[in-house]
Chain A
Amino acid sequence: MADDPVIQTFMIECTELLQAMEDALLRLEAAPEDEETINALFRSAHTIKGSSGIVGFENIERFTHKVENVLEQVRSGKIKVDNELIELLLKCRDHIANLIELAEKDTPASASDRTAEEGLLRQLQSYLTSTDKQSNTKINDTAPSQLGSNSPNSLNYPHPSSEPSGSGDGVRTFLHGRDVESGNWHISLRFGEDVLRNGMDPISFINYLTRLGEIVSLTTITDAVPPAAEMDPESCYLGFEIDFKSDFDKQTIEDVFEFVREDCKICILPPRSRIEEYIQLINSLPEAPLKIGEILVRGGALTPHELEEALKIQNAEAVYPSPLEGEGQGEGCSQRKSLIGEIVVDEKMTYPPVVDAAVEKQKKQKEAQAREAKTIRVDTNKLDQLVNLVGELVIANANIIQNAQRLGDIDMIESASTLSRLIEDIRDRAMQARMVPIGESFNRFHRVIRDISREMSKDIELAVSGGETELDKNLTEKINDPLMHLVRNAADHGIEKPDVRISKGKPAKGVIRLNAFNDAGSIVIEISDDGSGLNREKIIEKAVEKGLINSEQTLSDKEIYKLIFAPGFSTAENVTNISGRGVGMDVVRKGISSLRGSIDINSQEGLGTTITLRLPLTLAIIEGLLVKIGGEYFVLTLSSVEECVDLTREDIANSHGRHLANVRGQIVPYIRLREQFMIKGSLPDIEQIVIVRVEGQRVGFVVDHVIGEHQTVLKNLGRIYKDIEGISGATILGDGTVALILDVPRLVQSAEREEVRG
């Protein structure tokens, strides 16, 4: 189901609309009467309803419809916006989000979802019932005038009486209940003067009619065309008498004319209608009875005999008008129905004029819309494929360059390098196409902060900056969870309650800041709060209790803060349902390192905490350092590499079997990749150590040769490499050789474990 492109568009659209709904609701909290915000809110709900109906999610449509009803009343000022309503609407928004998610996964709603929905619907209904009274009165006010007057276009002729009238008219009694012989429909049309101006053309309707059946006969009535001087060429003066053979039902045939029925005289007589109905038709039409009669006979609607009888009755009725005239009872109803011009009663209700939304007021949306108009949606998969292909291109080109160099053909080398510049350009553009501003991800947290503030009676403001900073779309999806943990933590553990803050001399309102900026090919995201800061003693206490450290160890602040990333670590005294389940930070660290990113913590007790995430701009391209061990190639992410130094036999001898190197007086532990990956072959005389920084710590990796910087597109090489610990992916070099990409954080962790065990 999710493969359907329409459904996909729907999902993307709904995500945006739900966000817009949420933004609007949050804005309403501050300005409950802002018309523009209310309109935006209404429009979002309205569009979700409309779209979901069209793509076939009726449950979403039904629910959103109710929400829209309430919003409609809000818009018209019948319902006032208060916090209670905002709360309810936020819950409704969440419920819609949930329904959409279920629809995407194609799973039915659970019992609790349904109970929740019923609860929400009841609450929504309570808003609607309280305004019902008002609207009822309105309808009643206007009702008599609608029912009392016939549309000026309606054909006012006597309705057939189901009972013979008391006049004792012999002819009438004789004819009663007789049906005409014709098995065809008869359609009588007199178009209104404005139809052409309204873009409607009788030609189209008659053409459409031929799709439903066969036109047996058609007579164009031009009697109404006025003398040349008075004739308005843009007006329509045409009428038609059509005999029509069709197996469709009356409704379907009537519906052909649905767009003109208000402006036209339309009479549709089903096959084998009663003669009376033809009589009424003849009476109702502006042309002379005999003329119409002849048309009817010619078209086969009536036999000459039937016409004769009909005209006799017609004359008789002119003398004895039907006593039931004007009553739409019994059989008359079906007759009335065919007079489509009359079925407008419901649509004639008058409503209070709706204030036209001032266009100037919508400037903000205008700009956003204008932007939208210049963009197209592209499936991220398509972009991925493109980037992949560009990756192949880079590799293929590297191959060409190698061959050109081998052949020593200067011209060839020249051409190949021109090509390679172009390819690099294409790659950059393709990558850029996947970049999105991080602001959207940031803005989601307004709601989170609001909810936490309420739940915990805190006063917290979220300050967002650097929202325009761009990063890979895939990455934005993946950082959402870690960010959520960090923001919740800051709100929950970081920011104190207002009274506590005041007693500490801080403003009652706490601030959580989300900031993003680009730095040296990475994106840096900072989550900072002006709360209580991390409590060193508490962390140490907890860590000792959990056996993570022993009480004698002396640790730097950084090392202490790092402890909170250990699995199962939580210092929160009360486990709240917001954070503090003790899994948070561990999960965050794993999440970030799987994105080849790093986390850094800075904290000052009493003043607040800043967590800094550093992530690559994209997951698809690696700026790496290519190294060689034996015959194998490996890539380390360049952003983590600090320096490369030689490791001589002498150094090894000096470290007495421990994996420690002395780098300009600093002791750096190292990992021998040769051992790690069990690579055979003889050692070179001088090995090299690549020093990387992982979570604030310097670690060395020993390799045979450092080949140089290498920019490469990540390839998915399937399962074979998936289970190898310490490998996060692979890439293909210009000559087709595979180079494995090292998962540096994992390698360091496993080395640490080794060391503990050893």
Chain B
Amino acid sequence: MAKTIMTIDDSASIRQVVGITLKKAGYEVLEACDGKDALNKLTGQKVHLIVCDVNMPNMDGIAFLKTVKQHPAYKFTPIIMLTTESQEAKKQEGKAAGAKAWVVKPFKPEQMLSAVEKLILP
């Protein structure tokens, strides 16, 4: 059974690039446009990995991370945070909250895929 990955990004084109890449590699992909949207969509759904942008309106990635880490069903779900080199402070905050996998934007689709595959195989 294919593993499910949720991608959270306010940029539709990033969601699309990531989505296409992951689907091609054999994952199921769920999309959300921000933290709030993601939490709404997570209810009851088995998700094996979350790819989450840091900078988003309406509950940013760090706030989402902190919330999801409290959630009994998703607290151990691996999370890849998308960030830019200019977000060092956010990164520190995210690391403290338990986000260990970071992918720096802009990334090539294959970089994203290899980051995902290091954490879960399709």
Interface residues of A (CB under 8 A from B): 5-6, 9-10, 12-13, 40, 42-43, 46-47, 49-55, 61, 68-69, 72, 194-201, 204-205, 207-208, 211, 234, 256, 258-260, 262-263, 347, 349-354, 356-357, 359, 362, 365-366, 369-370, 372-373, 377
Contacts and interface: CB of A to CB of B under 8 A. Distances in A.
A54 B105 contact: yes
A362 B58 contact: yes
A369 B37 contact: yes
Nearest to A36: B57
A54 B84 contact: no
B37 A373 contact: yes
Contacts of A46: 55, 84
A365 B57 contact: yes
Given A259-B101, A351-B89, A198 B78 contact: yes
Interface string B73-85: 0011111001010
Interface residues of B, number: 53
Nearest to B93: A354
A484 B101 CA distance: 48
A262 B96 CA distance: 12
Contacts, number: 144
B76 A50 contact: no
A-B pairs, top 10 by smallest CB distance, nearest first, are A53-B106, A199-B78, A259-B101, A351-B89, A10-B13, A50-B105, A365-B57, A354-B89, A51-B13, A369-B58
13 contacts: A5-B16, A6-B16, A9-B13, A9-B16, A50-B82, A51-B11, A54-B14, A194-B98, A256-B118, A259-B100, A354-B89, A369-B36, A373-B33
Contacts of B55: 42-43, 46-47
Chain A CB within 10 Å, residue with most, of B10, B75, B102, B118:
B118
A354 B62 CA distance: 12
Contacts of B106: 49-50, 52-54, 61
A322 B2 CA distance: 53
Interface of B: 10-14, 16-17, 20, 32-34, 36-37, 49, 55-60, 62-63, 75-79, 82, 84, 86, 88-93, 95, 98-102, 105-109, 115, 117-121
Contacts of A347: 88, 91-92
Given A204-B119, A359-B63, A197 B13 contact: no
Contacts of B79: 199
A564 B77 CA distance: 68
Contact of A197 (B76, B84, B115): B76
A252 to B, nearest CB: 10
Contacts of A53: 105-107
Contacts of B119: 199-201, 204, 259
A67 to B, nearest CB: 12
A366 B57 contact: yes
Given A50-B11, A54-B106, A258-B118, 18 more contacts: A6-B17, A9-B12, A46-B84, A54-B105, A69-B86, A197-B75, A197-B76, A199-B100, A208-B118, A208-B121, A256-B118, A259-B100, A353-B89, A354-B89, A369-B10, A369-B36, A370-B37, A372-B33
A254 B34 CA distance: 32
Contacts of B86: 68-69, 72
